[in-house]
Amino acid sequence: MTKQDIVNEISRKTGIEKVTVMSTVEAMMETIKDNMAKDKNVYLRGFGTFEVKKRAKKTARNISKNTTIIIPEHFIPKFKPSKEFVQKVKAE
């Protein structure tokens, strides 16, 4: 399912114009990204949590050059689904 499919589905179910739904979906995604970039988690009750996870510094190998490289600690986005979400996916 693509973003456009989501917009079409919401528009069909609610009767709201697609343009309005698209701007709302875009605003929601931007808000989530902006808050995660500020190291804030986003909690959507009944859906899940968008978390900022810290990855520790580690040593890796570049096989083609046979050298070791150090990957500095960094942050990555992570999604943790709610229990209701997991149960719904398992049931279907």
| pLDDT band with cut points at 50, 70 and 90 for residue 92 | confident
> How many structural domains comprise the chain?
1
Mean pLDDT of 29-44: 96
Residue-level pLDDT at 47: 95
* CATH number reported for the structural domain that contains residue 72 in this entry: 4.10.520.10
For the whole prediction, is pTM greater than 0.85? no
Mean pLDDT of 14-38: 96
Whole-number Å distance between alpha carbons of 67 and 84: 46
Domain span holding position 38: 3-91
Question: 55: Cβ–Cβ under 8 A, 6 or more apart, which residues?
Answer: 73, 74, 75, 76
Report DSSP letters for 13-53, one per residue. Answer: HH---HHHHHHHHHHHHHHHHHHHHTT--EEETTTEEEEEE
